[in-house]
Amino acid sequence: MRIIHILPALLVLFVVLEVVSPAAYAGGDKDHDKARRVLAQKEILPLDQVLAKVKAAVPGDVIDVELEEDDNVWVYEFKIIEPAGKVVKVNADAKTGAILNTKRK
């Protein structure tokens, strides 16, 4: 009997998610388009080039990468798990690949 009462709630939830989800993704598309544009305009280096520099300086497994713009400066933010198991945050200049800072947790 409980399943019968849950089904209408699940249906409402599904409908709400279908209506809300396109709006939630709209901002992501703009960010993605902006990242592609600055890469095409050579304002930033491709991720693989910066990643090679970062991995040479901080060996380990990359678990997260973000591209952020702060005061008109593009920064790749990496999270790396070192072989010893510590997590390191590494910020690299997206235009030059230079490591800006590292923070070990």
Could you give phi then psi for residue 84, rounded to 5 degrees? -80, -5
pTM over 0.75: no
77 torsion bin: left (phi>0), alpha (psi -120 to 50), beta (else) = beta
Cα–Cα distance, 78 to 68 (Å, whole number): 11
Over residues 5-10, the mean pLDDT reads: 50
User: How much is the pLDDT for 4?
Assistant: 43
pLDDT the model gives residue 62: 95
pLDDT digit string, tens, across residues 16-68: 444 444 444 444 557 788 888 999 999 999 999 999 999 999 999 999 999 99
Q: How many CB atoms lie within 10 A of CB 80?
A: 22
Flag whether pLDDT at 6 surpasses 70.
Answer: no
Concatenating the DSSP letter of every residue in 48-89 gives HHHHHHHHHHS-SEEEEEEEEEETTEEEEEEEEE-TTS-EEE
